[in-house]
Amino acid sequence: MAYAHAMKAAVIGGSGYLGTELLRLLAGHPELDVTLVQAAGAAGSPVTARAPGLASAYGDVVYAPVDPDACAGADVVFVAVPSGASQDLVGALVDRVGCVVDLGADFRLRDASAYERWYGFEHRRPDLLARAVYGLPELTRAALPGARLVAAPGCYVTAASLALAPLVAAGVIEARGVVVDAASGTSGAGRSLTDQTHHAAVNESFSAYKVLEHRHTPEMEQAIGAELVFTPHLAPMTRGILATCYGRATRPTSTAELVELLATVYDGEPFVQVTPALVSTRECYGTNLARLTARYDERTGTVVVLSAIDNLTKGGSGQAIQAANAALGLPEVTGLPRVAVGP
């Protein structure tokens, strides 16, 4: 879909769930024109073979082979390939395009040595880590304008960081002993099936996985500024994350004070809604919204913060576009939905 004076955008990894969501959102973006869609496993096939719902915007588009050279000169390139695979692509793109937004984990962590422990690979481009700007605009907005390399946050990390970072920064909760329990829809596991993500395994079931070893743990600690225990769960739904976060209060507080603190921190933020009511994933379905609320338990001195997002949008592709908007000097809200799909 072309617009007068639109910037050129390319998507590498356009056949996965995040890539498909990028294409869906970019189809309605008035300033970014998708001129190239690459996908290694789907090269040569039409986009509509993998994503029939995109036919009205990409009916004639065919997935191209992955080739960073073909992206040269683009204003922005979104890289949506598995973690460990993007660093070589990003290395070949940075400084040859206006901005690279990596949706994988390869440039999120500041400590290159952490990748071997948490991701199982040795980082091959540690020289680029210092150049990468973390793409969570509500927390890192000042560094985004003009950024050439943006590391889009993980989905669980987004939900937990928006909930907890303000409370840690304000000294309301202790920076140790934080607990994050979060449940995600099955799309968070990606398009490729495993024994654990088949419909028959997920339907009518609710399970924890990767207990004490999930790779988003160090990224959460880095973004929140606290030591924590993270337990992810797989829920029998397609999209969404609900994070229930616990912290020990540093002083007596109240539910009203906590909600007011979050509301003040996020006042004016177009994609964060703070409410005194409990929140749910349905309220964010298909949007770039995060909805937050908090509670204080006087009996135990515990702060509880609830955070709901759509893992593919605010937890993935929507946030990547929000960060790209900021990097390119566009209003952050451009092309991003704030009204949920329902029922």
Whether residue 201 sits in one domain with residue 75:
no
Neighbours of 268 (CB within 10 A): 5
Calpha distance 32→18 (Å, rounded): 17
Tokens of residue 135, six digits:
């793409």
| Kind of pairing between the strands at 207-208 and 149-151 | unpaired
- Mean pLDDT across the stretch 225-229? 98
Helix (H) or strand (E) holding 160: helix 155-169
Q: Give residues with Cβ within 8 angstroms of 52, minimum separation 6.
A: none
Whether residue 162 sits in one domain with residue 110:
no
pLDDT in tens, 195-208: 778 787 888 899 99
In this prediction, residue 146 carries a pLDDT of: 98
Position 340 in a domain: no
In this prediction, residue 5 carries a pLDDT of: 64
In the predicted structure, residue 1 carries a pLDDT above the cut 50: no
Quote the strand ranges of the chain, DSSP E.
Answer: 7-12, 32-38, 76-79, 100-102, 133-134, 149-151, 178-184, 207-208, 228-234, 241-248, 272-274, 290-297, 302-309
- Comparing C-alpha atoms, which of 337, 289, 292, 325 is closest to residue 310? 289
Position 207 in a domain: yes
Position 46 in a domain: yes
pLDDT in tens, 308-327: 999 999 999 999 999 999 99
Whether residue 307 sits in one domain with residue 161:
yes
Q: Which of 71, 99, 155, 284 is catalytic?
A: 155
Whether residue 295 sits in one domain with residue 174:
yes
Whether residue 294 sits in one domain with residue 163:
yes
Tokens of residue 79, six digits:
């890289």
Calpha distance 147→99 (Å, rounded): 7
In this prediction, residue 198 carries a pLDDT of: 79
Position 112 in a domain: yes
In this prediction, residue 2 carries a pLDDT of: 43
Say if residues 232 and 209 touch (Cβ distance below 8 Å).
yes
Whether residue 200 sits in one domain with residue 119:
no
- Comparing C-alpha atoms, which of 171, 169, 180, 165 is closest to residue 134? 165
| Kind of pairing between the strands at 290-297 and 149-151 | unpaired
- Give the model's confidence band at 63: pLDDT under 50 very low, under 70 low, under 90 confident, else very high: very high
Calpha distance 65→259 (Å, rounded): 48
Calpha distance 5→270 (Å, rounded): 25
In this prediction, residue 188 carries a pLDDT of: 86
Whether residue 180 sits in one domain with residue 56:
no
Position 329 in a domain: no
The residue with greater pLDDT, 298 or 189, is 298
Answer with the one of 98, 131, 164 that is the final residue of a domain.
131
Answer with the one of 131, 165, 193 that is the final residue of a domain.
131
- Mean pLDDT across the stretch 223-247? 97
The rounded mean pLDDT for the chain is 95
Q: How many structural domains comprise the chain?
A: 2
Say if residues 90 and 107 touch (Cβ distance below 8 Å).
yes
In this prediction, residue 69 carries a pLDDT of: 97
Share of the chain above pLDDT 70, in %: 99
Position 102 in a domain: yes
- Cα distances (angstroms) measured from residue 215 to each of 189, 218, 220, 221, 232: 13, 7, 9, 11, 10
In this prediction, residue 31 carries a pLDDT of: 98
Domain containing residue 285: 155-312
Whether residue 125 sits in one domain with residue 28:
yes
pLDDT in tens, 71-129: 999 999 999 999 999 999 999 999 999 999 999 999 999 999 999 999 999 999 999 99
In this prediction, residue 58 carries a pLDDT of: 98
Is 71 catalytic? The answer is no
Whether residue 127 sits in one domain with residue 208:
no
Position 330 in a domain: no
DSSP string computed for 109-153:
-S-TTHHHHHHSS--S-GGGGGGPEE--HHHHGGG-TT-SEEEPP
pLDDT in tens, 6-50: 899 999 999 999 999 999 999 999 999 999 999 999 999 999 999
The residue with greater pLDDT, 140 or 197, is 140
In this prediction, residue 219 carries a pLDDT of: 98
- Comparing C-alpha atoms, which of 83, 98, 73, 215 is closest to residue 151? 83
DSSP-derived secondary structure letter, 314: I
Angle between helices 217-224 and 155-169 (to 10 degrees): 30
Whether residue 298 sits in one domain with residue 159:
yes
Whether residue 205 sits in one domain with residue 106:
no
Whether residue 159 sits in one domain with residue 295:
yes
- Give the model's confidence band at 3: pLDDT under 50 very low, under 70 low, under 90 confident, else very high: very low
Position 342 in a domain: no
Q: What CATH number does the domain containing 271 carry? A: 3.30.360.10
Q: What CATH number does the domain containing 41 carry? A: 3.40.50.720
